[in-house]
């Protein structure tokens, strides 16, 4: 088992969000993903344009429920239904604690590929799709498009690959420096990299655009970008 830092351990090509990872996830992700909470704030503000009385909102891969709880509080007076989906029971348990008695939140323990979506006005995938097998991604994008009401929004945040090897080398180096600045040592950084083999599979910006286009989206734009981390908003 390699040490990832933040009391998280994983095997080579064996990263998982279950087990002990869930207990230490919040600390780990805040240090690993640049502008993690700023992304949540941006999504919350954008949600005002899509969530109205009796709207349905999904977060796919809701992890410990930090964003779900934020959205539930923001839209508590609109009778908005917010559905959080995660494949790990431990993550759902953490989310239940975080969301407390929020009556407008439903948490579902399920693989996204197995979900049947209701008609909705906003769907969020916050650094989630990158962990789904590439062969299943277009299926999920197609279902997201079909689920959305006309004018509904899809917020997609992903780690992205650069368009060529020179840029990719630069982005990898800068992100490695970022993790060192967060206090991770070389062994922890390499351990995390080893654990993600075959688990995290980022697409390029074009690859994500192609998924959106094939699903049926015409209108989409970048709303946030830092090195190899990017947020997109697509509107049906």
Distance CA 184, CA 66 (A): 23
Distance CA 87, CA 115 (A): 11
**CATH of residue 121:** 3.40.50.150
Domain-embedded: residue 45 = yes
Domain-embedded: residue 28 = no
The model's pTM: 0.95
Domain-embedded: residue 122 = yes
Domain-embedded: residue 139 = yes
Domain-embedded: residue 54 = yes
Domain-embedded: residue 112 = yes
Q: What single DSSP character describes residue 118?
A: P
Lowest-pLDDT range of 15-24, 115-124, 177-186:
15-24
* 80-115 pLDDT tens trace: 999 999 999 999 999 999 998 888 999 999 999 999
Q: What percent of the chain has pLDDT over 90?
A: 84
By C-alpha distance, which of 17, 34, 103, 27 is closest to 66?
A: 27
Number of domains in the chain: 1
Cβ burial of 143 (10 Å; 0-12, 13-18, 19+) is: middle
* C-alpha dist (Å) from residue 62 to 66, 119, 188, 219: 8, 19, 25, 25
Distance CA 215, CA 217 (A): 6
User: Is pLDDT above 90 for 7?
Assistant: no
* C-alpha dist (Å) from residue 231 to 32, 51, 223: 16, 19, 6
* 58-84 pLDDT tens trace: 999 999 999 999 999 999 989 899 999
Domain-embedded: residue 140 = yes
Look at the block and give the residue holding tokens 């959305």. Answer: 148
Q: What average pLDDT does this structure show over 151-164?
A: 97
Distance CA 167, CA 224 (A): 19
Domain-embedded: residue 196 = no
pLDDT of 164: 95
Report residue 90 as tokens: 């431990």
Distance CA 162, CA 170 (A): 9
Structural domain including 122 reads: 33-161+202-235
Instruction: Give the pLDDT band (50/70/90) at residue 46.
Output: very high
- For residue 93, what are the contacts with CB-CB under 8 A and spacing of at least 6? 22
């Amino acid at each position: 088992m390699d040490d990832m830092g933040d009391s998280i351990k994983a095997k080579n090509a064996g990263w998982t969000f279950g087990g002990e990872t869930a207990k230490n996830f919040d600390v780990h992700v805040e240090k690993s993903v640049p502008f993690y909470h700023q992304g949540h704030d941006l999504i919350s503000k954008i949600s005002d344009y899509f969530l109205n009385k009796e709207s349905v909102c999904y977060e796919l891969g809701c992890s410990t429920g930090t964003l779900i709880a934020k959205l539930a509080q923001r839209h508590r007076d609109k009778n908005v239904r917010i559905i959080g989906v995660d494949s790990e029971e431990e993550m759902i348990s953490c989310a239940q604690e975080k969301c407390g008695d929020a009556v407008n939140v439903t948490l579902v323990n399920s693989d996204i590929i197995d979900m049947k979506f209701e008609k909705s006005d906003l769907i969020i995938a916050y650094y989630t799709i990158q962990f789904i097998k590439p062969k299943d991604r277009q299926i999920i994008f197609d279902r997201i498009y079909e689920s959305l009401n006309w004018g509904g929004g899809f917020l997609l945040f992903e780690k992205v690959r650069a368009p060529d090897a020179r840029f990719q080398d630069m982005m990898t180096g800068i992100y490695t420096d970022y993790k060192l600045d967060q206090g991770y040592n070389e062994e922890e950084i390499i351990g995390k990299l080893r654990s993600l083999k075959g688990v995290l599979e980022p697409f390029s910006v074009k690859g994500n655009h192609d998924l959106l286009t094939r699903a049926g989206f015409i209108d989409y734009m970048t709303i946030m970008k830092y090195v190899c981390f990017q947020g997109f908003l697509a509107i049906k």
